[in-house]
Amino acid sequence: MKLFSISALATFSALATSHVAQATNSFAGSNLYYAAGLSPSERVTLFSGMQSAGMKVLRVWLDGQSTASTKGTAITSYPSLETSAVGTYDDTVLNLLDAVMIDANEYGIKLLISMHSWNALSGGDIYGQWYGTGYFYEWANATSQFDNRLLHVLNHKHNTLGTPWKSMSKYIFGFEAQNEAMIGKGEAYIQAHQNWQCDRATTIKNELGSNSGILVVTGGESWMSESVQPSWLSCSAIDVISIHAYGVGDYSTSSITTYVNNAKSAGKKLLFQEWGACYYDTENNSCPVGNVLATSTRNSNLKNWASQITAAGVPWLYWQVLPNDDPHYDLDFEIGIGDVSWSTLQSAALAARQATAAFDYSAYLL
């Protein structure tokens, strides 16, 4: 670098900057399903940490959180969007997320908003109470009531800016109807009810309009092949098919590339929306319990798998970055900012931002 004059250096860094902004660069991000409950100082910790890793997207959920400490994060508890009855809305969570998205934006980060979860449905939220986990996906009254929820969220007016979320592409990367729809019903059920996903995406897309600058996303399933159902590739309302995968085989570049090619020829984008490297040594990265892996082994898993996903050209969101030390509760893929594995994740995310992507996300990132 000593060879460059000051002006040559300036030119070089301008070129480097324009390269970063180029159409085909990949990116990384993270999930934090309970981000609505973060305090302002936790938000600063999370977003400045994510920014230092070049991360561009945070995926959040709307389901209520009753515990004051989740994964070691001290959060404000908040109710679900619909608690007493389907169609009766408590906007607390939406108002909390209004503040989260303002803060995120200052760090160059947008939100991916998951508007409901299989977890809440199967855990007996109001939809679970009224419909159970089967009729919810099958009965016309359930789907039309759920569509009303989606429309309510898309039309929520930001409580300080006054703009409806559906017009806030500066803050919002994408919307998905439900985290891991139908997941506990098994793969055959998901295959048989693919239309549920396309129908919800159509509701979302129709409300957003075709030039919203906000992506319509699927929300993922258990693993790669289950996450990429054939009719979703031909559903015009779906922009992005989310991959959730924790099995090591699904992290192989050559396996991912097959899906990339299918998605590209169908005109869809892929996002590796949930993945992680387990803290324990359980076989196949299956992570309920086990013996603690040596830090160096976990870090090399993290580094290798991230680079394999990046090499296939697919942007990824880690499950999850915490704004506190990871307390190592049960299913433990998390990495706290400042934990021993944080710098490895940081490097992997920065490398993604410099790499070429198979899909052009540039219009959707800050």
Ligand X SMILES: *[C@@H]1O[C@H](CO)[C@@H](O)[C@H](O)[C@H]1NC(C)=O
Give 75's strand partners.
Answer: none
Number of residues located near ligand X, criterion CB under 6 A: 7
Q: Closer to ligand X by CB, 130 or 189: give it.
A: 130
Q: Does 223 sit near ligand X (CB under 6 A)?
A: no
- The nearer residue to ligand X, 56 or 149, going by C-beta atoms, is 149
Residue 105: CB atoms within 10 A of its CB come to 17
Indicate the residue among 141 and 261 with the shorter CB distance to ligand X: 141
Interaction residues for ligand X, span 237-276 (CB under 6 A): 249
Nearer to ligand X by C-beta: 28 or 278? 278
Q: Which of 102, 128, 132, 139 binds ligand X (CB under 6 A)?
A: 139
- Nearest to ligand X of 134, 267 (CB atom): 134
CB of 141 to ligand X, least distance (A): 4
Which residue number, 87 or 209, has a Cβ lying nearer to ligand X?
87
Instruction: Pick the closest to residue 160 from 113, 101, 98 (CA basis).
Output: 98
Q: Is 16 exposed, middle or buried (0-12, 13-18, 19+ CB in 10 A)?
A: exposed
Q: Could you say whether residue 284 binds ligand X (CB under 6 A)?
A: yes
Q: Where are the alpha helices (DSSP H) in 118-227?
A: 118-122, 126-138, 140-154, 187-192, 194-208, 224-227
Q: Is 123 in the site for ligand X (CB under 6 A)?
A: no
Rounded Cα distance, 133 and 182, in Å: 8
In angstroms, give the least distance from the CB of 135 to ligand X. Answer: 7
Of residues 88, 141, 195, 261, which one binds ligand X by CB under 6 A?
A: 141
Q: Is 31 helix (H, G, I), strand (E, B) or coil?
A: strand
Give least dist CB 247 to ligand X, A. Answer: 7
Question: Which of 5, 6, 254, 283 touches ligand X (CB under 6 A)?
Answer: 283
Please pick, from the candidates 130, 151, 307, 366, the single residue that binds ligand X as defined by CB under 6 A.
130
Q: Which of residues 7-66 bind ligand X (CB under 6 A)?
A: none
Q: Which of 69, 64, 79, 71 is nearest to 32 (CA)?
A: 71
Q: Which is nearer to ligand X, 11 or 141 (CB)?
A: 141
Judged by CB under 6 A, which stretch of 74-82, 164-172, 257-265, 282-290 contacts ligand X? 282-290
Burial group, residue 300, by CB count within 10 angstroms (0-12, 13-18, 19+): middle
Which one, of 270, 263, 215, 264, lies nearest residue 243 by Cα? 270
- The span of 73-81, 182-190, 279-287, 324-332 binding ligand X (CB under 6 A) equals 279-287
CA gap 145, 55 in Å, rounded: 35
Stretch that binds ligand X, among 102-110, 211-219, 254-262, 278-286 (CB under 6 A): 278-286
φ, ψ of residue 312 in degrees (nearest 5)? -80, -5
> In whole angstroms, how close is the CB of 249 to ligand X at the nearest point?
6
> 231 with 195: CB under 8 angstroms?
yes
CB of 145 to ligand X, least distance (A): 8
Lookup result for tokens 């060879």: 3
Least distance in angstroms from the C-beta of 283 to ligand X: 4
| Beta-strand runs (E) in the chain | 28-31, 57-61, 69-70, 73-74, 110-114, 172-176, 215-217, 240-244, 269-275, 316-318, 321-322, 335-336
Cα–Cα–Cα angle for 121, 127, 131, nearest 5°? 100
Footprint of ligand X (CB under 6 A): 130, 139, 141, 249, 283-284, 286
